[in-house]
Structure 1
Amino acid sequence: MMELSIQRYPGKRPCSPTLVLLHGWGYHKTAWPEIWLQQLAERYDLWLVDLPGHGDDSCQAVSDADLSTLDAWLQKLGAALPARYSLLGWSLGGQLAMRLAHQQSNRVQSLICLACNLSFVQRDGWPEAMPVNVLTQFQTAFARLPEKTLQRFCALQAQGSEDPMVMTKLLRSQVHCRPSLTMGLDWLANLDLRETWPQITCPTLLILAEQDALVPASAVDTIKAISVQHQGANLLAGSHAIAWQEGTNTSLLLGVFEFMEAAHV
């Protein structure tokens, strides 16, 4: 049976609103900047969740994992969460947060997505993404040399940061290599949220990074073009690991606070 792996940081305020954090591919539930966890816990009841096949999650590797496997997990996660909650997702976690917000529109109060595209790979009418063959090559490399490929992935995420070498070392200390990570790569290849995005009914904020080596910064204009009134898409300086950058993580965190406070009025 599919079991969830969740760690809670109870809010320090009485009746703190719930904020669910969904990490990126290759990481685990507590792989967030410590300053983020400390500051967010001052205002919110945090639920840190391992994505399927990541961290301590019980899912085993599934060959050619389709979206029905993902939706079964999202349904189970939704059933475990409080009646009302907000979502903050990074990269693949942001895509899963979008899908959950769409599926549970009557329960999700707000949604924030960091360094996240509506489609991770290029599709007809959506050129602002990674070429399909690049992801396919990465999947092949991960199947052959998972540890080495995951380490290289961290270096790609660090490109564009203030000190890529230091950032790469930091990110490599946070990843957790498992064979079941192949499921996440399948979902990155298959998730297409272009129609889902404008149908999300809660206040939504998407933040991309100018120097991101995985999600083109130019996607922000394409996303803005299909956004509706309660959705925003912004561009900030930084790499794919935008939340870890000392030069921007404080201002980014303040922006998260401002958005969520306005959304919860």
Structure 2
Amino acid sequence: MIGKALYPSLASSPSDPIVLLHGWGFDRASMASLVEPLRALADVWCLDLPGFGESTPVEYRADVLADCLAEHLPPRAVLIGWSLGGVLAVDYAARYPERVTALATLATNARFVVSDTWPEAMAPDVNLAFNRGFACAPAATVKRFCALAAQGGREARPLARTLQQMSCPLAEPRADCWSEALEYLASRDMRKALAELTVPRLHLFGEADALVPVSAGPAVAGLAPSAHIEVVAGAGHALHLDRPDFVAARLQTFVREAGNNSLDKHWVARSFSRAAGSYDASARLQRQVGERLLSELPPEVETALDLGSGTGLFLGPLRERSGATTLVALDLAEGMLKHARRAGRAADAWVCGDAESLPLAAESIDLVFSSLAIQWCERLERLASELHRVLRPGGRLCLATLGEGTLAELQAAWQVVDGYVHVNRFVPPERLLEALAQAGFNQIQVEQERCVLYCDSLRALSSELKGLGAHNVNTGRPRGLTGRHRLAALEQAYERYRNDQGLPVTYQVAYVTATWGGV
């Protein structure tokens, strides 16, 4: 059993739930300073770690602890862990990456005890003395630990008293579990997990932490260059209590940014670059949608942009039907652009860039043509603002994108198998229309179409999606190989949709046109 308290979100459109995991010697009440600030964004779950507070003791082993948390946590969540809670959060994210939206740790080292290859930690003799002290005099050792956790803070003595009041009552058999937790902290080496995790991450360290040296921050940064590493000035080990307003504000910013970037753009680019050679042969839907979108083009434009040009399938028809004298091909995947050039597709400029941060001059484009590319953008306000910036007054947008309900059969089949997210999330077209209107576009029109293709088998569908590079690129996507039994279960679940034409594959396509609002 896991003790927990749930605090409902105050936000009108909440993000994934936020789970708070406390440190050694305490329970969920020690994380209370973060609850109200984070409720502004999402539901907040405060948990008692196994053996602490109201939770039942379990064996302190990484896999056991992760599986225990998995039984009690929501299907997807942002994890925020302090010290021991941070270690559990990393172990959970490593074992269940598909269930973690983002990860933040407070005063959590990659190793808590020094090794030959990790000097930025507690000396082994100090750790051993502390653990032996707890075995002999647990209450006195907990009191000492509270003093160490408060040490270095701006008001160390009052905070030490507060921490003593927050510490859990200690009684058998919990003392044995607490000892196991100390051994777990001393033995865990999270360097491999920190180096391999792909979820958005924030690691906060206290400037004057007496238990985790501040030098651990740069060392962790060396393991995980994509993570955000920050030092909280004037804070000791209990940095969320030393500097509650600062830490809460930083966590709010992190959660907002992580929620707005749940697509891993690095993997989007890498996946499509790898698929460049097989893309055209698999592009049944792409050809159909692109041809339809070409019919919406205005005639006689000077400069046209193919946004998400891929292998350049539509560069020739785009120039022919728009009459563009200058044609720009832009794609996030460098491999796609290289393939298009080798294939002889003609453009006047080749640009590798992100639609949410266009490397183009303001008011330099007359027409933006984009077929099945912007579904890989989630910061729609940023996207719309960039489109408005680069278009000239009177410029035209012609976009096709995918919406909710795309690959519905595949997603439903996976839900039968394991309930995890295996299919890319697609936002409702209404969100894009709102973003375009806010950016200053007018004459905005949308037409939605349900397009159903058919495949002979699940294997054929998987091969087609792989050929397109359309893997699941959400952060938290499942890692590793899918087992034979799970694939068999998936195939069986998908077969219930079969009809005379084969296995249906549904796509919800939205065709959007708009003009620059300056006319």
TM-score, normalised with respect to structure 2: 0.47
Structure 2 counterpart of 1:258, from 245, 253, 272? 253
Question: Using the alignment, how far apart are the partners of 2:82 and 2:138 within structure 1?
Answer: 21
Give the match's secondary structure for 1:8.
strand
Question: Using the alignment, how far apart are the partners of 2:20 and 2:142 within structure 1?
Answer: 22
What residue ranges of structure 1 are gaps of 5+ in the alignment? none
Question: Using the alignment, how far apart are the partners of 1:50 and 1:188 within structure 2?
Answer: 17
Alpha-carbon contact 1:155-1:168 (below 8 Å) kept:
yes
User: Match for 1:264: what amino acid?
Assistant: G
- Report the CA distance between 1:15 and its aligned residue: 5.6
The change in CA–CA distance for 1:7 and 1:110 in structure 2 (over 3 A counts) is same
Partner deviation per Cα, 1:50-84 (whole Å, 9 max, x = no partner): 11211111116xxxx552xx422321321332221
Give the match's secondary structure for 1:120.
coil
Question: Using the alignment, how far apart are the partners of 2:147 and 2:60 within structure 1?
Answer: 28
Give the match's secondary structure for 2:166.
coil
Alpha-carbon contact 2:37-2:252 (below 8 Å) kept:
no
Alpha-carbon contact 1:102-1:201 (below 8 Å) kept:
no
Partner deviation per Cα, 1:217-247 (whole Å, 9 max, x = no partner): 0111111112132x111111111111112xx
Give the match's secondary structure for 2:30.
coil
Are residues 1:130 and 2:122 paired? yes
The change in CA–CA distance for 1:22 and 1:66 in structure 2 (over 3 A counts) is closer
Question: Using the alignment, how far apart are the partners of 2:82 and 2:211 within structure 1?
Answer: 12
- Report the CA distance between 1:10 and its aligned residue: 1.7
User: Match for 1:173: what amino acid?
Assistant: Q
Give the match's secondary structure for 1:182.
helix
Q: Which residue matches 1:152?
A: 144
Q: Which residue matches 1:235?
A: 231
Q: Which residue matches 2:19?
A: 20
Q: Which residue matches 1:209?
A: 206
Q: Which is further off, 77-86 or 134-143?
A: 77-86
- Report the CA distance between 1:256 and its aligned residue: 0.7
Question: Using the alignment, how far apart are the partners of 1:252 and 1:80 within structure 2?
Answer: 26
- Report the CA distance between 1:33 and its aligned residue: 3.8
Partner deviation per Cα, 1:12-56 (whole Å, 9 max, x = no partner): 23563201110000000122243x212212222111111121111
User: Match for 1:251: what amino acid?
Assistant: F
User: Match for 2:206: what amino acid?
Assistant: A
Alpha-carbon contact 2:80-2:103 (below 8 Å) kept:
yes
Question: Using the alignment, how far apart are the partners of 1:151 and 1:239 within structure 2?
Answer: 16
Relative contact order (C-alpha < 8 Å, sep 6+): which is higher? 1
Q: Which is further off, 47-56 or 207-216?
A: 47-56
Percent of aligned positions with the same letter in both sequences? 33
Structure 2 counterpart of 1:4, from 2, 5, 8? 2
The change in CA–CA distance for 1:259 and 1:165 in structure 2 (over 3 A counts) is same
Q: Which residue matches 2:190?
A: 193
Question: Using the alignment, how far apart are the partners of 1:134 and 1:264 within structure 2?
Answer: 40
Q: Which residue matches 2:56?
A: 58
User: Match for 1:232: what amino acid?
Assistant: H
Alpha-carbon contact 2:60-2:181 (below 8 Å) kept:
no
Alpha-carbon contact 1:33-1:244 (below 8 Å) kept:
no
Structure 2 counterpart of 1:161, from 147, 153, 160? 153
- Report the CA distance between 1:5 and its aligned residue: 1.8
Question: Using the alignment, how far apart are the partners of 2:225 and 2:150 within structure 1?
Answer: 32
User: Match for 2:35: what amino acid?
Assistant: L
User: Match for 2:178: what amino acid?
Assistant: L
User: Match for 2:258: what amino acid?
Assistant: A
Alpha-carbon contact 2:90-2:194 (below 8 Å) kept:
yes
Question: Using the alignment, how far apart are the partners of 1:148 and 1:55 within structure 2?
Answer: 19
Give the match's secondary structure for 2:141.
helix
Partner deviation per Cα, 1:169-195 (whole Å, 9 max, x = no partner): 010010113412112101111110011
Q: Which is further off, 100-109 or 175-184?
A: 175-184
Q: Which residue matches 1:32?
A: 31
CA RMSD of aligned residues (A): 1.5
Question: Using the alignment, how far apart are the partners of 1:151 and 1:129 within structure 2?
Answer: 22
Alpha-carbon contact 1:6-1:29 (below 8 Å) kept:
yes
Q: Which residue matches 1:91?
A: 83
- Report the CA distance between 1:199 and its aligned residue: 0.8
Give the match's secondary structure for 1:106.
helix
- Report the CA distance between 1:124 and its aligned residue: 1.9
User: Match for 1:167: what amino acid?
Assistant: L
- After superposition, where does 1:62-73 map in structure 2 within 5 Å? 67=61, 70-73=62-65
Q: Which residue matches 1:74?
A: 66
Larger radius of gyration: 2
Q: Which is further off, 168-177 or 220-229?
A: 220-229
- Report the CA distance between 1:131 and its aligned residue: 1.0
Structure 1 counterpart of 2:43, from 26, 42, 45? 45
Question: Using the alignment, how far apart are the partners of 1:257 and 1:157 within structure 2?
Answer: 24
User: Match for 1:145: what amino acid?
Assistant: A
Alpha-carbon contact 1:33-1:243 (below 8 Å) kept:
no
Aligned length: 253
